[in-house]
Amino acid sequence: MDQLAVLPLSIIYNIPQGIILENDSLVQAVFNFIEKLLSTALTATVSTEKLNTLYFELNTFFSELSKALAENRDSIRFRKLFAQVEDTWVRLASTLFSNNESST
């Protein structure tokens, strides 16, 4: 699972930015993948270490994509895309926060 977490960020770094920003199908497919990855992470038995990796990789991805879209005056598009995964993203963060608190 932690290896899969790097895929969205790899897409941002390896595909020319213009192609990503112009290709709604590609961006939607990436967010669909993220949604499934997050759901799987929260329903399967996954170590806290792997959840942390998933969180940090996807956080970096969201940051980079948000920055790229903002530079192209398209931050509304990012908010719409992120809304698709926001609830699951918050659940992942809450799970990690709970796990970190219980381990201290």
The tens digit of pLDDT for each residue in 13-23 reads: 676 666 766 77
Residue 82 lies in a domain: yes
Residue 1 lies in a domain: no
pLDDT at position 90, please? 92
The H-assigned helical ranges of 1-85 are 6-14, 17-22, 24-43, 48-71, 75-83
pLDDT at position 98, please? 85
Question: Residue 67's closest CA among 56, 59, 75, 58?
Answer: 75
CA distances from 103 to 33, 34, 83, 99, 100 (A): 30, 27, 31, 6, 5
Q: How confident is the model at residue 61 (pLDDT cuts 50, 70, 90)?
A: confident
pTM: 0.78
Residue 64 lies in a domain: yes
Domain extent, residue 40, equals: 6-103
How many folded domains does the chain comprise? 1
pLDDT at position 100, please? 66
